[in-house]
Structure 1
C-alpha cells in the first residue's frame, strides 16, 4: 500500500491555478464584453473662450449643473467622460466642479445640463 501511495505523489502533477481558472473566467469574460460595448465619448466642438466664459458665468450665477469636456486624451486617443456638477467656486486659474479643479485652459466644451 505504501508503494501505491509513493507512486501517486511522485507522478501527480498539480495544475495549481489552472484548476481555478474556470471560476474566474466567466466573470472576467462578461466584464470584458461589457467594457468593449461601451462607446468612447464623442469629440465635442471646440468652443471659443468668450463662449465658454458666457456659459460658465450663467451656470455660476444660476447655480446650474454643467457638463465639461476637458482637452485631454486617454492612451487610446479618446476624450474622457464629461465632468458633471455644479460650479463650487473659481479662482484666476480655473473652476472647481465635482470636487476637482479644472483649469480654464483645459476646457474644450461646456454646456448647461
Structure 2
C-alpha cells in the first residue's frame, strides 16, 4: 500500500477544486477590447440617427436630376417614399446612376422604381 502525504497547500488546492463551480461566459464579460466597444458605439449611433424627411419632387424634377447625374457621372443621394411602421425613414441610397431599365433606374447595381423616389440630390462633395 502506498501512502501519499499531502502538504497543507495540496490539501487547500484539492478542497478548492472539489467545490469550484465555473461561471462560464460571465467571467469573460469584462474583456471587451476598446476597439470593439468603439465599433458597437458607432453602430448604435448609426442606428439611432434620425433622418429628416425631404420635400417630394415631381417626376420631371427626378428625371432631370437623374439624367444630369448620369450624363456627368455625378453621385446622387436618393430618398425613397417608404417609411417603416414607426414612421422612420430608411437611410438614403447613395451612388452613381448606372443606367435605366424600363421604369427603373440602376444605382450601384440596385434597381429602383421611378415611382418610389421621393427626393434626389446631386452630391457635390
Which range, TM-score by smaller chain?
0.7 to 0.9
- Please name the residue that 1:78 is paired with: 88
| 1:13-24 superposed matches below 5 A | 13-24=21-32
- Please name the residue that 2:15 is paired with: 7
1:5 deviation in Å? 4.9
CA distance in 1, matches of 2:68, 2:39: 40
Question: What is the aligned counterpart of 1:90 among 81, 100, 104?
Answer: 100
- Pair 9,53 (structure 1): closer, same or farther in 2 beyond 3 Å: same
CA distance in 1, matches of 2:105, 2:116: 10
Judging by fraction of residues, say which structure has more helix.
Answer: 1
Considering only aligned residues, what root-mean-square deviation do their CA atoms show, in Å? Answer: 2.7
1:7 deviation in Å? 2.6
Give unmatched runs, 5+ long, in structure 2: 1-5
Give the aligned length.
Answer: 113
Give unmatched runs, 5+ long, in structure 1: none
**Which string of whole-angstrom CA distances, capped at 9 and with x for unpartnered residues, describes residues 30-59 of structure 1?**
444434444322211121212212212222
**Which string of whole-angstrom CA distances, capped at 9 and with x for unpartnered residues, describes residues 56-90 of structure 1?**
22222333221111223357542222222221111
CA distance in 2, matches of 1:23, 1:93: 52
CA distance in 1, matches of 2:18, 2:122: 71
- Please name the residue that 1:67 is paired with: 77
CA distance in 2, matches of 1:4, 1:10: 10
